[in-house]
Amino acid sequence: MVRSAHVVHVAELLTAVIGLAGCGGNVIRLGNGRAAADGSGTDANADGGGGCPHAQVNADEVAWIGDSWVTIPGTQHTGVRDLARAAGAIGPGDDYVILAAAANTMSMIANQYNTQEAGATKVKVLIMNGGGWDLIAANGSDASISSVVTTFEQHLAKVASDGTVQHIIYYLYPEIPTTPGVAALHPGVQQACAQSKVPCHFRDLQPLWVGHSEYTAADGVQASNAGAQVIANAIWSIMQQHCIAQ
C-alpha cells in the first residue's frame, strides 16, 4: 500500500509538471523574475529562471566606448563589472575593456571601437554612449544633431558588417543644461538603434534623472557617484534581461 501511494504521488507530480508546460510547450516559471530595466517591476520577457547560457562571452570581448559619461567618475563600468563578478558572469579577476575617453565626439568614439576590432580580440558586446561633446561644441545646433545621428548610423552599419558584435547597449545623457540638444537628439539615436542590424538596446537616462539632482555632479557636467551607480544598475538590468554576456 505504501508503494502504491508513492506511485500515485509521482503520477500527480508528473501531471502538474505537464500542466505547467502548457502555452505552446513553454514551462511557466514561478517567481524569481528579474526586474525591468526601467525599474517598473518584473519584465515578462526577462530570463527570470536563470536560463541564460553562461561563459559565452569573455570579459575582454566586452568593450565600453564613449566619453566622460563612461569614465567619470568611472563606477559606471566598474559597477557593472562588480555585478558581473558577483553573478559569476566573469571571473573574480576579470575586467571589461574600457576605451572611452573624455571629450570624445561621436566619430572619435566610433574609432575607439574600430581600433579594438582591428586587434586580435574581437568585440562581442559593445556598451557605449556618445554625441554629447558634438552638441556642446555646437550649442546643440540642428546641424550637430543631424551629424551625430548620421555618424551613429554609420557606426552601427560598420559594426554589423564586421560581424562579431552580438549586442550593443547605447545610453543617452539626461537632459541637463550643460549639454544642450539632448532632447532633440533622442528620436534620431533611438530610431537608429531600433533599426540596427545588430540588436541595439537603447537606454534613455532622462526618466531615471527626473527629480534626482544628486545624480549630476557638482560641476553640472558629469554624473555623480550616485548617478554612475544608477547607470550601472540600468545597464546590468538590460544585460540580464537579454542574456548579454551572462
What does the pLDDT read at residue 54?
A: 83
**pLDDT tens-place string over residues 62-89:** 999 999 999 999 999 999 999 999 999 9
49: pLDDT strictly greater than 60: no
Given pLDDT bands bounded at 50, 70 and 90, which one contains residue 199? Answer: very high
Q: How far apart are CA 181 and CA 67, in angstroms?
A: 17
Average pLDDT over every residue of 159-187: 98
User: What is the model's pTM?
Assistant: 0.81
The span from the first CA to the last CA of the chain, in angstroms, equals: 48
Q: Check residue 50 and give its pLDDT.
A: 61
pLDDT at residue 129, as a whole number? 98
CA nearest to 200, candidates 159, 236, 146, 232:
159
Measured between alpha carbons, how far is residue 117 from residues 41, 76, 113, 165, 243 in Å? 37, 22, 6, 10, 22
**All cell numbers assigned to 105:** 565626439
Comparing 16-30, 88-102, 127-141, which segment has the lowest mean pLDDT? 16-30
Alpha helices per DSSP H over 118-199: 132-137, 142-162, 182-194
